[in-house]
Amino acid sequence: MVTRRALVGIPIAMVADSDSSRLDLLLRSEQARAHSQLLREQLAALAEAVVQVELDVARGHEAIAERGGSLAAQAREHAKRAREFAAREHAEAERLRRLGGLRTVDRRERPRARS
């Protein structure tokens, strides 16, 4: 059995004031929500950067395909895949923006999947 004398000098967690505990939880919740929103914004911006790179790749492959030659068919296929990937990344960026209530960013070229 533990006596009161044995507990002297040992810190014991006390129940905090319930109002301050609620306020602390509310503040931490708001901080977590803001941090999550910031991460979503950053992720959406990164997805849009990937979209632009993939569109550049698609344009490069399309230029190779237009020249003709033995690699034209392969270049067309690579361009098609790059545009499809760009379209998926763009959709993901839009989803993240809707999820976080962010505004949609208009880019110079909308990704589109070619058939």
Task: For residue range 56-102, list pLDDT tens digits in order.
Answer: 999 999 999 999 999 999 999 999 999 999 999 999 999 998 887 75
Q: Which of 47, 44, 50 is nearest to 102 (CA)?
A: 44
Is residue 48 a contact partner of residue 105, using CB atoms and an 8 Å limit? yes
Q: What is the pTM of this model?
A: 0.64
Q: Is 101 left (phi over 0), alpha (psi -120 to 50) or beta?
A: left
- Residue-wise pLDDT for 37-59, tens only, equals 999 999 999 999 999 999 999 99
C-alpha torsion angle, residues 100, 101, 106, 111 (rounded to 10): 50
Find, among 115, 61, 112, 106, the residue nearest to 88 by Cα.
Answer: 112
**8 A C-beta contact, residue 97 and residue 104:** yes
